[in-house]
Structure formats: structure tokens, C-alpha cells
A and B are shown apart, each in its own frame.
Chain A
Amino acid sequence: MQGQGEKEAKFGRRELWTKIAGAGLAASGLLGLTLLRFLSREETSVDEDDIYPSPPPKQPVSADAEPTQEPVISAAHALYDYSIEDAGPRLAIVEGGERVRTLRRLVEALGGMGRFVRKGDRVLVKPNVGFATPPEVGATTHPTVVRELVRLCFEAGASEVLVTDYPTTSAEHAFRVSGIARAAEDAGARVVLPDREQFRRVTLPSSRLFKDWPMLVGPLSGINRVIGVAPVKDHGLSGVTLSIKNWYGLLGGRRNLFHQRIVECLVDLATLIRPTLVILDATVSMVSNGPTGGSEKDLKRTNTMIGGLDPVAVDACGAALIGRSLQELPWLIQAEARGLGTARWEKLNPIRDRVG
């Protein structure tokens, strides 16, 4: 524009050198910062490819590289085995309409939380936070149960409790709307949101599906005990969704593709991780229109909580509770055939009790 009258200052050699030096300083500062960030980053984290997994690298990344705990050889070759072997009861069913008391009685019936969590243990609690729906809808684990479970862990001497899940919508949103973020934090647990850094590529050798697949196993590092806690819900594809389907939340990437082989996927999930304890909260069950529900008509008061060390037995018991037969649930039969547990749960002589 009207710059004709302006005097352009003479650009001397000294000024040139000052400028070059300044630019150099700025550039090296930037470079340093980038380098720092790069170095402090965990090297195994996956990047954008989370969403579109690339073909497996020539040397598959072994998930066993995670120094989480001493590998325990079990019949099922689980990658993540947190199960305990002792002579205590393996299945308990407690009736009761009030969640806190029922849960406490259930854990007592199984031998107390001290059986599962020792002093100084680091515990991961995995609720079902699949959707951003409030607790009344019943599509997610009830926050009261999460809160009480976390408290029980701390009472048993846990040094840290983490709560995580990978919802179908924005994680932060789902954790907040479901009330689970607040409940967990109230009780002193730390909520780990599924950021990209929390995913690693995992290969389950016995599986056709889980090959170099991004999974939410970041929160497992340094964990000794894993407790799954799920609601009892109807499900279009797999019949019901219970404690084993709850591990679907560990799958990253385009996990929707696994619906094409849902039976195989559920059996693989049961193989992938063997939790210390699983709990089904069937105080209110979703008997239709699952797994999202949305109306009171979809819910039924079943006033029961089921807990146990054998996820297959617990799920079979939960399915029976809402009147689903084993024949409708081929994944339970196949899981039993693979030696992952017993689908005929009555054989385990479940402890039965009633509160209030």
C-alpha cells in the first residue's frame, strides 16, 4: 500500500549475523524440545494406525515383553493371567436388592476380598462403560457397584486401583455420563482413559483374530490383580453380554469386524485374559433391546449378584438367571471345550446366600 515514503533501514552484515544466530538458537531449542518429547515417549505405543491396523511387522511384537508379572502357565495359555489357584469356593450367588450390601455379602461368601487382593497389590477394575448412558438405563455397570468394589479393594490393602474401559463413544463422555468416573474417583481409584498411548499391538498365538491387534493393555502394566464387573444384558448377536463379553472393551482398532466371528472372538477373549475375580451385577438385568436398552420396559429386577473365579461358570449362571439356555450360547460351550472353565456351573457347588 502506501509505503513509498518509507525508509528501509540498511541491512548490515552485523544484523545479518545476529539474525542468523537468533534463528539458529530458536531452531535448536525447538529441535531439543522435539527430541525430549520423542525420548520420553514409550516406544511400544501405537500411533494413528490404531484405527487402521497395518499388516503385521516381520517380527511380531510380543506382548509378553510387558514386565507385568511372573508368567503363570495355565491350561489355557492366557496372555494375561491374573487368576489365583486355591481350594476356596469358585462361585457364589447372592440375592439382594441393595447393591452395596449384596456385593459385600458376595465377596464375603467367596472368602473375603483378602483372598483376591493382598496388601500392596495394584488392582485393575474393568467395568462395562460401553455407552454414554446414565445408570438408570442399565447399559453400563452401575456406579454404586464400582465404588463399593474399589472400596473393598482398598480395605483389603490394595496400594492402587485403576478403572478403565474403551467405550463405543467418546471415553471421557461415557465415563462421565455413566457416573463411573465420579464413583471410581470418589472411592480413590484412578480412571485411565483409553488414550492412544494405552494401546499396544498384541498377538494371541492360539487366535485367528487377535494377530498384531491394538489392545487396551497399557493400564495392565504393573497390575497384579484384575477384577471384571459387568451388568447382565441381552445382546442381539451373542445372545447375552456378561463378564466375558466385557473384555471386548480391551480391543482397540476396528473391533467391529469381529462381529463376523463373534463366537470365536468371545472364546479368544476368555483365552486372552484370565481375571482374578469376575462379578455380575444382576440387581437389574436388561432382558430385551440389549445391549443399549433405553427404556424401563427393557429392564427387569432380578435382585442377584453372581461372583466367581471361573468366568465361564459365572456367565453360564448369569445367562440362566435371565432364562437363556446354553444351546443359545455356543461361545460358552466352546469356551468350556477349550478348557477355559465349566459351563455347567451347578457342578461347582455355588454358595448361595440372601441379603435383606
Chain B
Amino acid sequence: MRVVWFRRFSQAVFFFVFLFFCLVSSPGEQWYRLGSTLGPPKWPISWFFEADPLLAISQIFAKGDLPSGFVWALAVLAFTALLGRFFCGFVCPFGAFNQAVGFVISGLRRRVLPLKYHRLQSFKYYLLAFFLVTSFLGQAISLSRTGQDYAVGWLFFGLVLLGLLAFALQSRGSMRTNIALIIALTLLWLFLGRIVQGDEILDSSLLAGLLDPMTLAYRSFAFFVLPFLDRGFGVLYGSPYHHGAWLIGGLFLLFLFLNIVTPRFFCRFLCPLGALFGLLAHYAPLRIYKRAELCTDCQRCNAVCEGACEPVGTFRRAECLLCLNCLAKCPEKAVTYGLRPLANEAFGPTITRRGLVTSAFMGLAGVPLLRLGGLVGPDWRPYLLRPPGSQPEPDFLRLCIRCGQCIRVCPSGVLQPAGLEAGFEAIFTPVLNNRLGTSGCQTNCTLCGQVCPTGAIRKLSLDEKLGRGEFAHQGPVKIGTAFIDRGRCLPWAFDRPCIVCQENCPTSPKAIFLRSSVRKDREGRASKIDRPYVDPRYCTGCGICEHVCPIRGIAAIRVSAENETRSQHKSFWIR
């Protein structure tokens, strides 16, 4: 019994730490805030992402490199290989949340829920394979060409091969066929790598962030649950609006209510991180086992098993979430956790070679499927404005895990999670939205880059952002350029004085400047009028002008991505 209470305590602590990190993710000097808008953040808010091996491996696959913070993930991997899925049972905040919801629901129903194993629980392994392949495609091509540049990448590629080999050893098929298949695939890869040119279509894309439980939970709480609970109080959020909130909240509610079908539905059927842990946990020396001589086959453990690993029957090692309910429930103390050599217990889910090949193929086809429409190519969306310091778009999509921390910390709320307007691939990634923000991108702030756990948004110094000091020759970092819509602008279209954009333009000298002219109105009365012009040399695309423009429907001055610093092909200006 005691061990279950320890588990609950641990889950509660990690869940509230997770919520706390979500709450403190806004700039401010108080202890419960992040500190200055120039960073570095006071609290280790990225910890849950950095402890997430799925995000770590996806990054290594996609980029061949890993920020040092992710050393936590390697520790988690090591402990999982030793202890089993302790992360799922004791740490994961989304798992804890789902378990609590499942507990309440089964309590309300006052009956034992079906906690039996379901064969579709193997679906999450296919999802994992899909995500890993999508993040590996571009890297695989460049590895076969310029392998020596990516020591870490090679290391992990070796690990992939080892994993495949281990799977081949375990698989029911003939060993010889499996090994032949692996060798054939490797040769095919090396061969294709020589003749195939990688480009932005045959590229890696870190899609795992869509379903990873850490990022999923962070997005859901930061952009749906907390703003929703904060309504009527207005304590946590200056502005409650988050673009795409319906999608984030909808997914959250879906996973919440799937707990009615079976507790921890997400963990059992969908969680790609859980699948990764499952693969390792299968080989963990420490695990649950049953002392057959004591077991009376009362089935009480099976009824409370959160992962449906069925400790009484063929114990499915990979599915065991280490909830330890079985230990507490067993009247005979027949179920134990401890060191045990690998026995012939079931792996758990049946992962078929056919299923694996199918999902891997889907992964190979996935990125080209998303990119052949040209959204990362010539049909780039002009209003997809990335935060200052963002990597070029293909690199950005290799690194952005869609955690939403940059969005949460943005002091003016101008960063927003993308909905579907920039294509499926950009979903939940950070985009500037000058209608929802309380202002544009703030001049004296580099916080989005400071909190980005993966470097999709680089850590900028203020000097680099503003193009001062040693960065003077580069000029300021540009998000885009403002364009005046003369048919809508009050001075241009209606001879009305206005120039709010010029007033608020934060650069020095102002990127928006004025030219005076004397105009006659239709009655013949002459008046002097100042009209705004944009000087692209100075415009950083911060969007403050667009935000303050009195024309609110379609602003008379709008920022689009032309001239953004991160990509040459969007510029129109010769320096």
C-alpha cells in the first residue's frame, strides 16, 4: 500500500511542478515569474521537455545534434533501461492527469472498468516508428553523404541499427530473413543516399511534438485549461486569446474523455513516448513478476492494472506503467518488483514486421506529402511571421517541438500557436499575430529565444537583435517588413491626419517616416497632410505599427515575411 501512496505523491509533485512551470512562464521580477525579458529565465521551465527522450532522439535524428540541457533525457533513458517505465508511473504529468481522471470516472461509475489488454495498444509503437522516420529522413540522406560531420548522428544511427537487430532477434519471423532485411535496407539507404539529393521536400520534420505527452500537456494547460479557468479572474493572463485554441483544447478534451473508454487511454494506445519507454522496459532487469507458488489466481491485480500488462497472466513487460497497483492489491503478496533475468514472458504488444514497414513507409512519405504542396517552398505564407532569431524554415521545422513556451512567455502576447492556416506542418508552431497581441514584438525582449529548449529560436543578445555593438554591421534582426496599404491608410486614401504608425515605430531612426504635402479636398479647401512611408532599411517587422493602426479590419499597414533575416529568398532589398 505504501508504495502506491509514494507513487501518487510523486505524480502529484511532478504534476504541480509542471503546472507551476507553466504558471511562472511570464516575465516579471517576482519570485513566481521568470525574471527580465532578456533572460536567462530564473526557473528551469524547460525541464520536462529536456527529460523527454522522444524529443531528444527526434532532435538528434532531425538535426544530428542536441542542446546540452537534454542530458536529462539520456538519464531518463538509462533509468528506464534499468527500472522500466518509471517515467510513466511516477513522473509524467499528463499520465498523472489521465490516471486521476480515470480514477474519478471509475469511482463515479462504481464498477470495475475494463482494464484488459487490447491488441490495438501496439498502435503507439507504429506511431513512434512514424515519428522517428519523419524526423530522420533528411538526416539519413545527408548522413550517407557527409557522415563525418555528425558524430552524434552516427552514434544514434548505430543505435537504430542495434535496435532493429534486437527487434529481429525477438521477432517471431525467421532470424535469417530479419537480418537479411536489415542489411538490405542499410545498403539501399547507402545507395539511395549517393544518388538522391536532399532538399526541403525530402527532409526531416520534427512531428513528434504533435503527440508527445510533455508538449501536448503544456500546450493544453497553457493555452486552453488555464486561460479557461482564469476567465472571470484575469490573474494569470493579460490576454486570454490564443490562436488555434479550439484545436489544442479539442485534442485535450478528446484525450480527457477517452479516459471514459479506458483509464489512461492516451498512455496505452497513443503515447509515442510511452512506446519508446516500452521498447526499453522490455529489457529492464528490474520488473514486476509473479511468484507462481503463492498466486491463487484471484485476478485482483489485473483489475487495477493501469497499463493492462496483466501481471497474473502473460505479463507484458513493455506495457507495464509501473503504477504498482498490483503490488498493493495482491492479498498473497505474490506480485513483486525486483531483479529478474529475462524469461519467456510476452513482450506485450505484437509488433508485426508488416506493421512496422508500413509505418516506416508512411514516415518516409509523410514529409514529402506535407511539403509537395510547396508551403515550405515557393508558396510560403507571407503572414507566417516567425519570432526573431528563428532558424530558416526547414531548420525551424526540424527543431521546433511545438511546446509553446515561447508563446507563453511573450510579454505582448503577439506570439501565437499557428492553426491550420500555414498548413498542417506548421500547426502549433509560434507565429506572430498582430491582431491578437497587445502590441507587436517588443524591442527590449529576447525571451522567446531564451526559453526555447531546442534552439529553433536562437538565443539572441539584445545587441544582436537590435544590430548594435559587434553586430552593427549585420543590422537588426528582421521578422519581416511593413507595407502600407494606400487604399486603406487614412492620410493616403482619405486625406485625414493620422500617422499613429509613425508615432509608435520603435526603431531609431524610425522606419516609418513622413512626407508632407498640401492637398485640396473636393470643396477646394487646401490643407497640409503628413503621409507615412516605410524605409525597409530600418523596418524590423516588429508589427507595432500594424497593431496600432486605427483601421482594424484589414490594417492599413501590415507586416509580411519579406526581408526576414533568416531567409535570403524572401528578401527584396539589396543593401
Chain A contacts to B: CB under 8 angstroms: 1-3, 5-9, 37, 131-134, 168-173, 176-177, 182, 195-196, 235-237, 254, 256-257, 259-262, 288-289, 291-295, 297-298
Q: What A residues does B490 contact at CB under 8 A?
A: 260
Which of B28, B444, B508 meets A132, CB within 8 Å? B444
Which of B28, B114, B499, B503 meets A6, CB within 8 Å? B114
Tell me the complex Cα distance, A177–B35, Å: 11
Contact A134 B505 (CB under 8 A): no
| Contact code string B384-424 (vs A, CB < 8 Å = 1, else 0) | 00000000000000000000000000011100000000000
How far does the Cβ of A43 sit from chain B's closest Cβ, in whole Å? 17
Sample (24) of A-B pairs whose CB atoms are under 8 Å apart: A1-B261, A5-B114, A6-B111, A131-B506, A132-B444, A133-B444, A134-B444, A169-B439, A172-B411, A173-B37, A176-B29, A177-B444, A196-B234, A235-B503, A236-B530, A256-B500, A257-B550, A260-B497, A260-B498, A260-B550, A289-B510, A293-B508, A294-B508, A298-B508
Tell me the complex Cα distance, A182–B503, Å: 27
Contact B412 A170 (CB under 8 A): yes
Tell me the complex Cα distance, A262–B506, Å: 21
> Quick one: given A133-B444, A168-B548, A260-B498, are A292 and B111 in contact (CB under 8 Å)?
no
How far does the Cβ of A39 sit from chain B's closest Cβ, in whole Å? 14
Query: Is B118 interfacial (CB-CB < 8 Å)?
Result: yes
Chain B contacts to A: CB under 8 angstroms: 27-29, 37, 110-112, 114, 116, 118, 232, 234, 238, 261-262, 411-413, 438-439, 442-445, 490, 496-500, 502-510, 514, 530, 544, 548-550, 552
How far does the Cβ of A259 sit from chain B's closest Cβ, in whole Å? 5
How far does the Cβ of B308 sit from chain A's closest Cβ, in whole Å? 10
Q: What B residues does A131 contact at CB under 8 A?
A: 506
Q: What B residues does A133 contact at CB under 8 A?
A: 443-444, 506
A262 (CB) vs chain B CBs: closest residue: B497
Contact A297 B508 (CB under 8 A): yes
How far does the Cβ of A213 sit from chain B's closest Cβ, in whole Å? 15
Q: What A residues does B262 contact at CB under 8 A?
A: 1
Tell me the complex Cα distance, A254–B548, Å: 9
Contact A259 B411 (CB under 8 A): no
Q: What A residues does B412 contact at CB under 8 A?
A: 132, 169-170, 173
Query: By CB atoms of chain B within 10 A, which of A5, A173, A176, A298 has the most?
Result: A173
How far does the Cβ of A3 sit from chain B's closest Cβ, in whole Å? 5
Contact A259 B499 (CB under 8 A): yes
B37 (CB) vs chain A CBs: closest residue: A177
Tell me the complex Cα distance, A57–B160, Å: 70
Tell me the complex Cα distance, A3–B114, Å: 6
Which of B114, B413, B502, B508 meets A236, CB within 8 Å? B502
How far does the Cβ of B21 sit from chain A's closest Cβ, in whole Å? 20
Contact B234 A236 (CB under 8 A): no
Tell me the complex Cα distance, A237–B503, Å: 7
How far does the Cβ of B512 sit from chain A's closest Cβ, in whole Å? 9
Q: What A residues does B496 contact at CB under 8 A?
A: 260
> Quick one: given A259-B500, A260-B490, A292-B503, are A169 and B442 in contact (CB under 8 Å)?
yes
